[in-house]
Amino acid sequence: MLLPEQVHTACRRLLEDLFPVPTVRGLHAASGSLAESLNYADVHVGEVTDAGEFRYPDRNGDSLLTIGRADWPEYWVQSCGDRRPLWYQLHHRLPHDDIPVAGGLWLPFYDSNQIVGAALILGLPHEPSRQELDLMYWLGGVVGSILSGARAWRAELPVASSMALTRDNDTSVADHEERRHQPSSEFHLLRRAADFHAIMDGSETVIYVKSCEGRYEFVNRKFEEIFDLRREDILGRTDEEVFANSPELALRFKENDGMVLRLGRSVQFDEVAPHTDGPHNYVSVKFPLRDEQGEIRGLAGISTDITLRVRAEHTVQMLKDRGTAILNAVADGVVLLDERGCVEYMNPAAKALLQFGGEELDGASFFDFVLPVGRSDDPDESENLLLTRVLRQRGEVLNEEDVFRRQDGSLIPVEYSGAPLQSRDAGSGAVVTFRDITARLERRHASRELRGAQAVQKMLFPQSRPQLSGFDIAGAVFPKQVVCGDYYDFLYRDDDRLVLIVADACGHDLASALLMVNARAHLRSSLKAHAGIDEVLQDVNDCLTRDHQAGKFVTTFLAELDARNCTLTYAGAGQSAVLLPVVGEPIPLKSRSLMLGLQDVLSIAGPVELELNSGDLLLICTDGLREVLSPAGDLLSWPAIYSRAHELRTQSAQEILDGLVALSREHAEGSWPQDDVTVVAAKVL
């Protein structure tokens, strides 16, 4: 693990080797210094020119090798664009020297405007940690800012002075060493000090020097800029005096300075400083300054603004936390698989559905632990398995039904979808979402059962219209759901007598349909056994109260038509009808007893007999025809039904029935039926 102390040492030694101008020997020495400080075996430090060339010394430090921008590996270009160190794991080779690269890392030396140099670190089999990359990022910023300032300073020197500084690149090492050890005049030393201050002022990092008492001895231009203070208002003062309006900030600075002086070594801090646009985050490296005897005489600090990076990290973390919260909240199971089909992540819903409580599946094969044995064991052996195709980036799987295996070995029916994932950094994999469809399958099974019951129930309704001399008769039932509790029937007493039956069992479900089937059987049996329809109702009531639980009932209307005498005899148990005579007002045929099945003893007022005339119309309707609401909430009225029947009375019984059903549909405006609907129409010819 790379430590901050190593990076601080590397920074100091790099600046000693490369300042004020990178030479062949200086670059070669910097390569060795960086390798020694960071414990890396193979390091090449070079300069990036304004023309975009990377110039670095050969392995002996005798000459410079140049790689033009067009020949740069892609990860160098990307690293310089991002201003961040970038590791590349694949084997490749560099131009010149044909250097084999395995696990290369490119560390750019940068400031806000340009890349001035870089370090190529070779032979890294594993990617550095995030902390190590952050330390290198800081190192590249500090070294780059100072070298950039030095480059700008050299550009402003007279030609002769510039040549004197850069001649080391073109002369022998011996000449270079001779010039390095020539005594400097006092004027030269003063000029170098002034040049050093100019370079510090050109840096985009914050640089400052303090005495052991905490008084500022030097601050660069960037320090003045960010705190909106003049240098003369800072030098000679302590943090308490400079930041009198921010005592907490001054105290933190003082505590950090004290730690450096106590430890006697460089220390890295995360600090926050106020700016005009709000607080900014800094990575600060503070280190002691020593005199000729090695005694600490003060300290210096270099602070790099990392606000944009911190804000970006906060945004990424916020999005990550939000995504985690969403995954934790959804009811569907979500599983992330790597390219081998092993589990990388399961959300709480997935663990609950599969009954995995802890980390049992982390890193385990999804195919081995979850998918049923014998059907999808191993993705390598199941070429046609849908999820295998997803893992191999061959497309998505949507809404497939299957069964997954729980931890206890039981199976759970699921609907799942899968989509491939492709990431430059993380490689390939897939995301699988699934949900428990037990309830859906139960509903599907129940629906099949209901449709089977519907087919049986349809067979219990009349399959053809009855034929009775002097009458035109039609009937129909319209269930609200798959099966219904409504029922109608026609039963001949003899050739001249026909009984019309309309009944309505409570409810709209399978239970009501079964109740109606039972009532139908009793009605048919009783009509054959009893002459009077009131006796029929009493007998059916006795059977229903005996066979069914309390609260279950059936409304029933029986109408016996006599073709020989042209009469109607009726009896109702909770169900009414209406007779529309050819002349006169409608005649309600009211119920004369309670519904069947409510009481053990049924009180019936007795049947009623009416004479019929040609043109009379008998309508027997369950309440679903009339008790239908319009979008405004209004019920269909009886007068509207009578009016429509009167308009259609010259038509056939079937056409009259169809017209009344159409009226009910029109009133509901599409939301129909709202209840089971049964209509029987009998027209006297």
Which of 82, 306, 111 lies closest to 203, judged by CA?
Answer: 111
Q: Look at residue 345 in the predicted model and tell me its pLDDT.
A: 87
Per the CB < 8 A criterion, the answer to whether 286 and 304 are in contact is no
Here the tokens at position 246 are 């921010």
CA distance 429 to 419: 9
pLDDT band for position 395 (cuts 50, 70, 90) = confident
Helices and strands (H and E) in the chain: how many = 20, 28
Question: Higher-confidence residue: 485 or 581?
Answer: 581
Nearest to 61 by CA among 116, 17, 112: 17
For residue 103, the SS3 value is coil
Q: Tens digit of pLDDT for each residue in 507-536?
A: 777 788 888 888 899 999 999 989 899 999
Q: Any residues with CB less than 8 A from the CB of 34 and at least 6 apart, and which?
A: 10, 13, 14, 40, 43, 45, 119, 121
65 exposure class (CB count in 10 Å sphere: 0-12, 13-18, 19+): middle
pLDDT digits (tens, 9 = 90+) for 349-385: 998 898 887 666 677 788 777 776 445 444 444 445 6
Say yes or no to pLDDT of 66 above 60.
Answer: yes
Greater model confidence, 11 or 635: 635
Topology of the domain covering 4-195: Beta-Lactamase (3.30.450)
Q: Contact at 8 Å (CB) between 75 and 106?
A: yes
The SS3 of residue 386 is helix
pLDDT in tens, 432-460: 999 999 999 998 888 887 788 778 888 88
Q: Other CB atoms closer than 10 Å to residue 412's CB: what's the count? A: 18
Band (pLDDT 50/70/90 cuts) for residue 175 is very low
Backbone angles phi, psi at 679, to 5 degrees: -135, 130
How confident is residue 339, by pLDDT bands cut at 50, 70 and 90?
A: confident
Q: Which CATH class for the 211-311 domain?
A: alpha beta
Pure H helices in 530-599: 533-547
Domain with CATH 3.30.450.40 in the chain: 4-195
User: Residue 263 has what DSSP assignment?
Assistant: H
Gap between the Cα atoms of 416 and 432, Å rounded: 7
Task: Report the distance separating Cα 197 and Cα 432, nearest Å.
Answer: 60
φ/ψ of residue 51, rounded to 5: -85, 0
pLDDT in tens, 206-230: 899 999 999 998 888 888 888 888 8
Retrieve residue 329's tokens.
Answer: 């909240």
DSSP string, 485-508: SEEEEEEEEETTEEEEEEEEESSS
DSSP code string of 635-672: BPPHHHHHHHHHHTTTS-HHHHHHHHHHHHHHHHTT--
Identify the CATH homologous superfamily for domain 332-434: PAS domain (3.30.450.20)
- What are the residue ranges of CATH 3.30.450.20 in the chain? 211-311, 332-434
Q: What is the mean pLDDT of residues 614-636?
A: 93
DSSP 8-class letter at 342: B
Task: Provide the pairing of β-strand 567-573 with 608-611.
Answer: antiparallel
Q: What is the 3-state secondary structure (H, E, C) of 229-288?
A: CCHHHCCCCCHHHHCCCCHHHHHHHHHHHHHHHHHCCCEEEEEEEEECCEEEEEEEEEEE
Beta bridge partners of 587: 579
Amino acid code (one letter) for 18: L
Packing angle between helix 533-547 and helix 510-529, nearest 10 degrees? 140
Binned at pLDDT 50, 70 and 90, residue 472 comes out as: very high
With a cut of 90, say whether residue 205 has pLDDT above it: no
Amino acid (one-letter) located at 147: L
Spatial contact of 579 and 586, defined as CB atoms under 8 Å apart? yes
Chain segment 11-54, per-residue pLDDT in tens: 888 887 886 678 888 899 999 989 998 888 889 999 999 888 99
Closest CA to 662 of 447, 474, 478: 478
Tell me the helix, strand and coil percentages in the chain, rounded to 5: 40, 30, 35
What is the b/e burial string over 525-542, where b = at least 16 CB atoms within 10 angstroms of the residue's CB? ebbeeeeebbbbbbbbbb
- What is the structure's pLDDT at 398? 87
Where is average pLDDT lowest: 86-95, 174-183, 463-472, 486-495?
174-183
- Tell me the Ramachandran region of residue 103: left when phi exceeds 0, alpha when psi lies from -120 to 50, beta otherwise: left
CATH number of 448-684, picked from 3.30.420.40, 3.60.40.10, 3.30.1360.40, 3.40.50.10860: 3.60.40.10
Distance CA 221, CA 207 (A): 9
Tokens of 302: 């270099």
Q: Which token pair is 363?
A: 């890193």
Residues paired with residue 490 on neighbouring β-strands, in sequence order:
500
Q: For tokens 């759970």, what's the residue?
A: 412
Domain(s) labelled CATH 3.60.40.10 in the chain stretch across 448-684
Report the range out of 163-177, 247-261, 541-555 with the highest average pLDDT.
Answer: 247-261
